[in-house]
Structure 1
């Protein structure tokens, strides 16, 4: 049955009875899902003690980071503000002129340039005049909002960067691609699937609200020890802080000097053992290296008093001594990734101060920082207000829920790690991909609250490690300039967590021989880049340099993975070849096997 020609639906067919029944059913199922979710929340609230509930509530407005709270004290530069307003008016007129006169000024047959912004690459954003106008208006306003930060006066550089970061988060959140009614793909998908995409997205969103964390991937697709973290090995030691894993040799001969890897304790160690093709651990074993990995314990109430000293002495030094005694070798080679690299630098200085530097033959640093003067956007989160919030979050049990750190790191790349998945998971209702790296990214680790608070204050806020004697470990002053251990320092060119400018600064403190390598990509892909993948590139500079800019200016680019370069360097510190037998096999020495790798600590939630 057709609508009347002059009615509001002229030219359109009225929905059939079957269609109306279907959409009524869709709305009914949506209401049922939301009702069930609300019921679960009320049941949980009834089971929680009111005092505990108030302690774990979301922070109030006065507890928000200074990047938001401090904006009210900023003043605007009148001249730049007038110019900004003039520019905005001029661009607005141009935009409306293009909208009212489409194609004006373009050559016949000339195609409009395709947008570079991935949020708007779908052809609907350009082919439909209304959505094209929405897109262009948003981009223009977003650009002017970000440029308006330059009109702010009377603040220090950090406050200005906080304002810029806060503005960027706001404009990313307000993108029309993030809302169903202003995203043509979402509307088309809902109609095409007769509302099923809407129901799938709602189910995803309610599930994430239940667990308090944004889901990036299908977690059911991965199982530790089955299709991730599968390199054969045994747990040979367990302490209240870590498990020590020794991996099974795959070559008849191995290097005399073993390798001890310290992954960051803010993440699970298996980032270095994702699968057979990506695993750095499996690859290193295949090169004839006896590999040990520390698997840190996810913090619980028993770790309320754990501090940095514990990770240095009762963590890294203890693991180094354990491996030395097990294999009866004078020294070990080491790797420290991210924050564990920061601690490894402290370990080297601690051993040097005690006259025991020869326990470590060499140290490799993956995207690690020791001087935090150029530590990137994470510095914007460090202020007194944020410190108080972290203290409140860690009260009671003595540890910080890993979901807090995950949200912080996601916020650093909000467009890619938050809003991209809001669109795909919630608005489009797409199925989660089976992606091991994203699975690892969401596998959060709890942190000792006292240690985490001190770490942010001592390193990011006060930069004490960069000052000789600024920090002490078990009453031993730490001086990085006393470190003469051979070092291999890797940085990621696009790293947003440990910027290469910040990683470079390690070269300004250590006094021993050092090789600096700049790898393509970022904090994870720049490290986990196996040679067979033939991806990215890396840069080296034999002449040396006084700055990162100088290093890059005279650097040689090599296609592919930097792992072989590291292996060539490590061979100079690996010693002679010995038979892979006795204590070189997990559980065959003085330390017996406790369980199969990857162990139980990595599975603790």
Structure 2
């Protein structure tokens, strides 16, 4: 095959500046025809020298990126490489949308004309023109994506974003009103429609985003250069950047609570944190974080760290640090994680010579903790666990939120195709969770990082969010199929683990169940259902905010609120109706509950201080596993 002729640098620069100028001139002409006298803030390309320099930089970035990709031919694709796989499941459904229906088209046309006249009337244009006297326009639809004044200062951009919002409302309503589709398929279609509409927002495109256009004009094209740098960097690493990756160091800024790794297996490390009080509760606390993320969500910067706070309250805290999956873990299943939780509890009790331990399970690790309690109850070993606390954890997946849109046969098949060497790349999982909050976690950063060319800021929570973890593919598919899709965990003896059937009704361990009022991953309606299966005493607490901020809410921050109801209600509606609201963090409420169940204390000496004389440890916290990519 003959090589394609290479463009000379001057030709590329001329083409770049010529394209910008032609687009600017065309936009001005179009808007002058539609809205005479309106100034459109399109880039001014009269300063040829600066624009030429920007063009050279853009050219070099693209050439370097293409050369790098050519060297990677045959390498495994990144999650950015084939985004169509994520939407292939949904594409065939849009033929069922009645957009060609005459009545639908008539309504859209009439609504569009009415909107056009209403919006232009706010600027003194057309049959509905109003005298505003210098007041800001009162546009009919509000959305935080268009809250910057520049979206309403100019009638062109006001029309653009108001028309988008109007069409989005209508199309989403059409999807929600479709008949003759099974409920699960309809939920998927509504979800996919929302994702597509979010992607098509005018805020995501440079020529329809006045804030980005102004930035291009102010920087003489340098924002385009920086934006392309950010985009190509993300394409290379296969992941959207939310936070400055150089801003934090594990063990120094994050996961910095002092401690030692006191035990290690091929699946997890067990960290014990150094006490800060003279006396500690006799029963230690073992925390199981979700293995879909790094454990330091509970050990962020010191002022936010749940681990540090718990240690300072006089608890002997152990943390399980799961290993990110690799090819050696291809055959792991759910049983292995349940067995690992039991092993961690046994090792803690053996190390401190105590009969039982308190436990915490966060999200998917909370689901597994429920299975662990069921296994121990079936084997007559339930007394190993003094209490169990569940952070935003589900066992009944009937109302499990938008994640259920990814668990039909076709979606599970797509996930199976994405897995390589027996594990699922954590970047795919991160992309899925970003889609659940597309405007906040995806498109907002497309606008900032790519269109505006802004540098990512330093934010510990978003740094953690981007620190992805791989999962064993075999276990992941089973989890989606058996729990999310078929909801078998709540069917007595439908599933087995560690050689015994699982029956949640056998759990008599005292349980503390925390849910987030705005949780989109584990909805409060779903978390509540755990109370319906327990045979022992339980306390349910509803926290303000969502899946992360509802959990990571230190008392010193003075944020949010929580609700409790001591009347042992039979339903979530009854709980809410009779609940008492308290301001601030729920952590002290949980600590008081824990002490009520076991107030005995001991001196913080011997192996209560990890790494002391005669105590063999593996390494300093946070350990190797949390740093393994």
TM-score range, shorter chain: over 0.9
* Residue of structure 2 equivalent to 1:5: none
Change (3 A) 1:100 1:532: closer
Residue 316 (structure 1) aligned to one of 341, 353, 361: 341
* Residue of structure 2 equivalent to 1:470: 494
Taking the aligned partners of 1:16 and 1:202, their CA distance within structure 2 comes to 20
1:36-115 alignment, distance < 5 Å: 36-45=64-73, 48=74, 58=82, 64=87, 66-72=89-95, 74=96, 84-101=104-121, 102-103=123-124, 104=128, 108-109=132-133, 111-113=136-138
* Residue of structure 1 equivalent to 2:242: 216
Contact 1:65 1:383 in 2 (8 A): no
How far off is 1:390 after superposition?
1.9
Taking the aligned partners of 2:102 and 2:579, their CA distance within structure 1 comes to 44
Residue 59 (structure 2) aligned to one of 31, 44, 65: 31
Change (3 A) 1:369 1:53: closer
For residues 205-242 of structure 1, the C-alpha deviation after alignment (integer angstroms, 9 at most, x for no partner) is 00000011100110100000111111000000110000
Taking the aligned partners of 2:273 and 2:460, their CA distance within structure 1 comes to 21
Using the TM superposition, name which of 26-35 and 81-90 deviates more: 81-90
Taking the aligned partners of 1:482 and 1:342, their CA distance within structure 2 comes to 15
Taking the aligned partners of 1:493 and 1:341, their CA distance within structure 2 comes to 18
Taking the aligned partners of 1:589 and 1:65, their CA distance within structure 2 comes to 60
Q: Which runs of 5 or more residues in structure 2 are unaligned?
A: 1-27
Contact 2:375 2:498 in 1 (8 A): no
Contact 2:563 2:580 in 1 (8 A): yes
Contact 2:120 2:155 in 1 (8 A): no
Aligned residues: 586
How far off is 1:391 after superposition?
1.8
* Residue of structure 2 equivalent to 1:587: 611
How far off is 1:58 after superposition?
3.6
Contact 1:67 1:159 in 2 (8 A): no
Taking the aligned partners of 2:138 and 2:115, their CA distance within structure 1 comes to 15
Using the TM superposition, name which of 332-341 and 110-119 deviates more: 110-119
* Residue of structure 2 equivalent to 1:362: 387
Contact 1:75 1:154 in 2 (8 A): no
Contact 1:55 1:392 in 2 (8 A): no
* Residue of structure 1 equivalent to 2:538: 514
1:193-272 alignment, distance < 5 Å: 193-272=219-298
For residues 123-158 of structure 1, the C-alpha deviation after alignment (integer angstroms, 9 at most, x for no partner) is 111110111111111111111111111342111111
* Residue of structure 1 equivalent to 2:11: none
Change (3 A) 1:427 1:60: closer
Query: Are 2:525 and 1:533 equivalent residues in the alignment?
Result: no
Contact 1:535 1:561 in 2 (8 A): yes
1:447-596 alignment, distance < 5 Å: 447-588=471-612, 592-596=616-620
Change (3 A) 1:180 1:53: closer
Query: Are 2:326 and 1:300 equivalent residues in the alignment?
Result: yes
Q: Secondary structure of 1:464's partner?
A: coil
1:432-443 alignment, distance < 5 Å: 432-443=456-467
Contact 1:197 1:429 in 2 (8 A): yes
Query: Are 2:194 and 1:162 equivalent residues in the alignment?
Result: no
How far off is 1:544 after superposition?
2.4
Q: Secondary structure of 2:303's partner?
A: coil
* Residue of structure 2 equivalent to 1:127: 153
How far off is 1:122 after superposition?
1.0
Q: Which runs of 5 or more residues in structure 1 are unaligned?
A: 1-7
Taking the aligned partners of 1:239 and 1:283, their CA distance within structure 2 comes to 27
1:9-20 alignment, distance < 5 Å: 19-20=47-48
What root-mean-square deviation, in Å, do the aligned CA atoms of Structure 1 and Structure 2 show? 2.5
Taking the aligned partners of 1:76 and 1:423, their CA distance within structure 2 comes to 32
Q: Secondary structure of 2:189's partner?
A: helix
Taking the aligned partners of 1:150 and 1:389, their CA distance within structure 2 comes to 25
TM-score by length of structure 2 reads: 0.89
Contact 1:494 1:523 in 2 (8 A): yes
